[in-house]
Chain A
Amino acid sequence: MSTVATLLQEKINNKTKPLGSLGELERIALQAGIIQDSIHPVINRPTIVVFAGDHGISETGLVNPFPQSITGQMVYNFIRGGAAINVFCRQNGIDLKVVDAGVKGDFSDIISHPQFISAKINHGTRNYLEEAAMTFEETERAIGYGRSIVEHLVAEGSNCMGFGEMGIGNTSSASLLMAAITHTPLEKCVGKGTGADEKQLATKKATLEAVFEKHRNVISLQSPIKTLQYLGGYEIAMMVGAYLAAAEHKVIIVVDGFISTAALLVAHAMQPSVLNNCLFAHASGEQGHQRMLHYLNAKPLLNLGLRLGEGTGAALAMPLLYAAVNFVNEMASFEDAGVSRQ
């Protein structure tokens, strides 16, 4: 254990409570302190960044019953403050940013909105049944933009972030990435997404099997960035960059659900140490997420059957992070309180 870890563990043990009695909160507090290299961990300007992007596969209707246009409509909903993530961010005092990573359509009427970040790579990805979802250059640029966005938030004083997403069809990308990176059979990675029934789910599985087969040669190279290029999406690639930059800048990362964790799988394959900065908000209701968590040896904080995305799980878990740093900074020690140990 590092010096900070030792000192912080001592500090936690000296609080007026039975040893270890704050359970997971103690683990969170310790991790926060280690990330910040301080025995006085603090949370500043917690921020959720929602990355939005469209997927070429959605236009086929094979993987999702919903029209692609919902992605752009939801971006406006986020900016108006009417989505689930807006409600939870307001409730918990979390800043929210919405990124156009590659949504189909123009947002010229909201680019000056302070919560909107314009980072469009393209109007939706290509259909990966036919070709790579993105070009290599686009993939690298998306990762770079994700990095820049996080670096800017760090410069503005944020040291705690969660990354959410919006993109009709992006659970398909997440399933494919998971299968490629964790070597899990694809059928175990595919779930309902936005709400497919049994028949739609069968079509979705068959379609994704075909995609996986088509790009088998690329997948077998086991290059995380190539895998991302062929099977990912702009919002997922941007999240990869966001994770990498956040870890480099000592940010406490609160990981959301299935798609956010798929992006983390890619980031982790590129840079395993990103995990040191990650707290896992929840176990999603989307099949495959538990397996991802298991693969990353991660212990989720909540289990609420959420499968919405947008960063909602991360926003709901952030108050636990506050509780963890607050008890470390505000609770009396046995010496302070004149309380005798056993």
Chain B
Amino acid sequence: MNTHSSSNWTFITGGARSGKSRYAQELAEALSPNPVYVATARRWDEDFEQRIRRHQADRHNGWQTIEIDKNLASIEQKNQPIIIDCITLWLTNLFVDNGYDLELCLAEAKREIDQLKVTPGCYFIVSNELGMGLHAETETGRKFTDLQGWVNQYIAARSENVVLMVSGIPLVVKSTKLRKA
């Protein structure tokens, strides 16, 4: 039986340090003592390792962390709420692997998102509003900002709930059924 659609997405976007990850974690922890955390970061260097470790320390021990750099639909734990953190780093991986080609990368991102949407599960998807920040200095940077914007729109259109984080406060932009944190 279905009380809900079998796929339920909450898209959480906002600026850097706006509290996106923390809010996503609160929502997931309300639904389960052991949610799944999907880290999309590739471990680029030692500084990045440090950041990953700090993020891990923020999550209590009930969390299961898995690392997926590209194929999001390959997540197997469908019985738990899942956080994908974050779309920006995931896109970085796709962008690099597609030789910084905007069109190719956008097409692959859409394919991956479509595939994820047909997998049942409860997802909290974290992204960034890069377009609200400073104008990128390089051509590649500007292309990436565009890519991020297109992909955010693509995910938000397919999400049941969309939340914009503003200075640590969730602003509900779109809601079919959002539980209060």
Interface residues of A (CB under 8 A from B): 76, 79-80, 100, 106-114, 116-120, 144-145, 148-149, 152, 156
Q: Decide: A118 and B1 in contact? CB cutoff 8 A.
A: no
**Is B14 close to A, CB under 8 A?**
no
CB-contact partner of A76 in B1, B34, B120, under 8 A: B1
Contact check, B121 vs A111: say whether CB atoms are below 8 A apart.
yes
What separation, in Å, do the CA atoms of A145 and B32 have in the docked complex? 8
Residues A149 and B4 in contact in the complex (CB < 8 Å), given A111-B122, A114-B177: no
Stretch from B47-55, B77-85, B136-144 at the A interface: B77-85
Task: Place the interface of chain B in its size category.
Answer: 20 to 34
Judge whether A108 and B6 touch: CB under 8 Å: yes
The 3 closest A-B pairs by CB, nearest first: A112-B8, A148-B33, A112-B122
A119–B29 Cα distance when bound, in Å, is 11
In the complex with contacts A79-B3, A119-B32, A152-B30, A112-B79 CB distance below 8 A = no
Given A114-B177, A148-B62, do A106 and B79 touch, yes or no (CB 8 Å)? yes
Taking CB atoms, residues of chain A closer than 8 Å to B34 are 119, 145, 148
What total count of A-B pairs have CB within 8 Å?
A: 71
Residue in A106, A111, A152 whose CB lies within 8 Å of B29: A152
B66 within 8 A of A: no
Query: A108-B120, A144-B62 are contacts. A114–B33 as well, Cβ < 8 Å?
Result: no
B31 within 8 A of A: yes
Q: Are B177 and A118 in contact (CB under 8 A)?
A: no
State in angstroms the CA–CA spacing of A112 and B8 once bound together.
Answer: 7
Contact (Cβ within 8 A) A116 B31:
yes
The docked-state distance in angstroms from the alpha carbon of A121 to that of B28 is 17
Candidates B1, B3, B30, B78; contact of A106 at CB < 8 Å: B78
Known: A119-B33, A145-B33. 20 other contacts (CB 8 A): A107-B79, A108-B6, A108-B78, A108-B121, A109-B120, A110-B3, A111-B8, A111-B32, A111-B121, A112-B4, A112-B8, A112-B31, A113-B3, A114-B179, A118-B79, A118-B80, A120-B80, A145-B34, A145-B62, A149-B33
